[in-house]
């Protein structure tokens, strides 16, 4: 219990599988109380809850679309009711959108990617800052945005819209870290490279990791757990003087 008091409450967007689920598993072991959202994968969310409870964690989940203001508000309302103000926000829910060249992009698909990856991150950060800011009576906190190496590589031939959404994630991380640094809130980002999760198959390219692996200097893809360990370090007190960092977790890619 002493450890749980030390770590506090963590909100994770998009926790039903992949990197979000790995963050929750690590957070549960570290003693956080956890509140997470998911969009559709009920069975995945139930597995994540059962595993976290098995590790002794208190956990709450909400089926809510992180691409909409109502969905983000529902997530924070559920956390308020269950545990009160959060100490940590992990902005993680994201999609690549359909793999396509820019010349073939559809407006609706670009909008879907931007709503979830950019608007959703901003709205969740807004709600977290309102609750964490020492200028508003909060006790401070830590926000970690899950960006991507695509912010730098650009995603040509596949998902320039996704790359641009992650460029926005990097810029919002820098801006927010400066804006709320004096309010007790640290803001950082991780930029994963090629990570073994379902995101590639969902984009219609199940062979994507195998196809691109040879271009990774370390010669292999990363795991969700390897990204989660870096996120948890940025979230917690061991990184107490780190803010505004964009940390690559990419095997050198
Ligand atoms: P994933 O396995 O597809 O998991 C994505 C998670 O986000 C799922 O829990 C999904 O839940 C949730 N989600 C998606 N849209 C949502 C919405 N509208 N509302 C609420 N939840 C939503 O993907 P991942 O690889 O773990 O990706 C996590 C983050 O890492 C993303 O921001 C991604 O851009 C970033 N990233 C991944 C890689 C990689 O190679 N895997 C590389 C760089 C960056 P539901 O299915 O239940 O909706």
pLDDT digits (tens, 9 = 90+) for 156-178: 999 999 999 999 999 999 999 99
Neighbouring residues of 207: CB distance < 8 A, sequence distance ≥ 6? none
Ligand 1 binding pocket mutation candidate from 12, 13, 14 (most atoms within 8 A of CB): 14
Contact 198 CB / ligand 1 (< 6 Å)? yes
> Which residue in the list 32, 38, 83, 162 is annotated as catalytic?
162
Percent of residues, the chain, with pLDDT higher than 90: 97
Structure confidence at residue 181 as a pLDDT band (50, 70, 90): very high
| Domain positions in the chain | 8-249
Contact 93 CB / ligand 1 (< 6 Å)? yes
Q: Candidates 3.40.50.280, 3.40.50.720, 3.40.50.1820, 3.60.60.10; correct CATH number of 8-249?
A: 3.40.50.720
The 3-state DSSP class for residue 106 equals: coil
The answer to whether 162 is a known catalytic residue is yes
Q: Which atom of ligand 1 is nearest to the CA of 147?
A: 44
Segment 198-213 shows an average pLDDT of: 93
Percent of residues, the chain, with pLDDT higher than 70: 98
Of the candidates 175, 151, 124, 182, the one whose C-alpha atom is nearest the C-alpha of residue 250 is: 151
End-to-end CA distance of the chain: 40
Segment 221-230 shows an average pLDDT of: 98
Is the C-alpha dihedral spanning 52, 244, 171, 182 positive or negative?
Answer: positive
Segment 216-226 shows an average pLDDT of: 97
Going from the Cα of 50 to the center of ligand 1, the distance in angstroms, rounded, reads 20
Greatest Cα pair distance, the chain, in angstroms, is: 56
Going from the Cα of 190 to the center of ligand 1, the distance in angstroms, rounded, reads 14
Structure confidence at residue 4 as a pLDDT band (50, 70, 90): very low
Please write down the long-range contacts of 98-101, taking CB distance under 8 Å and 24 or more positions apart: 98/203, 98/204, 99/158, 99/159, 99/203, 99/204, 99/205, 100/158, 100/159, 101/157
Structure confidence at residue 6 as a pLDDT band (50, 70, 90): low
* Strand blocks (E) in 7-125: 9-12, 33-38, 59-63, 88-91
Can you give the pLDDT at residue 3? 44
pLDDT of 5 strictly over 70? no
The 3-state DSSP class for residue 250 equals: coil
Ligand 1 binding pocket mutation candidate from 21, 39, 90, 249 (most atoms within 8 A of CB): 39
Can you give the pLDDT at residue 7? 82
pLDDT digits (tens, 9 = 90+) for 40-98: 999 999 999 999 999 999 999 999 999 999 999 999 999 999 999 999 999 999 999 99
């Amino acid at each position: 219990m002493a450890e749980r008091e030390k770590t506090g409450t963590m909100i994770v967007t998009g926790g039903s599988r992949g990197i979000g689920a790995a963050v929750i598993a690590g957070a549960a072991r570290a003693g956080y109380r956890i509140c997470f959202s998911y969009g559709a994968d009920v069975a995945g969310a139930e597995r994540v809850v059962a595993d976290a409870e098995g590790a002794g964690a208190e956990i709450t989940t909400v089926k809510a679309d992180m691409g909409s203001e109502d969905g983000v508000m529902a997530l924070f309302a559920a956390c308020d009711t269950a545990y009160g103000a959060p100490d940590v926000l992990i902005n993680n829910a994201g999609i690549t959108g359909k793999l396509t060249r820019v010349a073939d992009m559809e407006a609706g698909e670009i909008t879907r990617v931007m709503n979830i990856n950019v608007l959703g991150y901003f709205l969740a950060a807004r709600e977290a800052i309102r609750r964490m800011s020492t200028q508003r009576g909060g006790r401070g906190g830590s926000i970690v945005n899950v960006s991507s190496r695509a912010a730098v590589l650009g995603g040509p031939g596949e998902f320039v819209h996704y790359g641009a959404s992650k460029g926005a994630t990097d810029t919002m991380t820098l801006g927010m870290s400066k804006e709320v640094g004096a309010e007790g809130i640290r803001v950082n980002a991780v930029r994963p490279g090629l990570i073994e999760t379902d995101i590639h198959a969902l984009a219609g390219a199940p062979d994507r990791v195998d196809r691109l692996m040879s271009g990774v200097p370390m010669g292999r893809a990363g795991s969700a757990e390897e990204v989660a360990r870096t996120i948890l370090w940025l979230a917690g007190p061991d990184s107490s003087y780190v803010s505004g960092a964009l940390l690559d977790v990419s095997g050198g890619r």
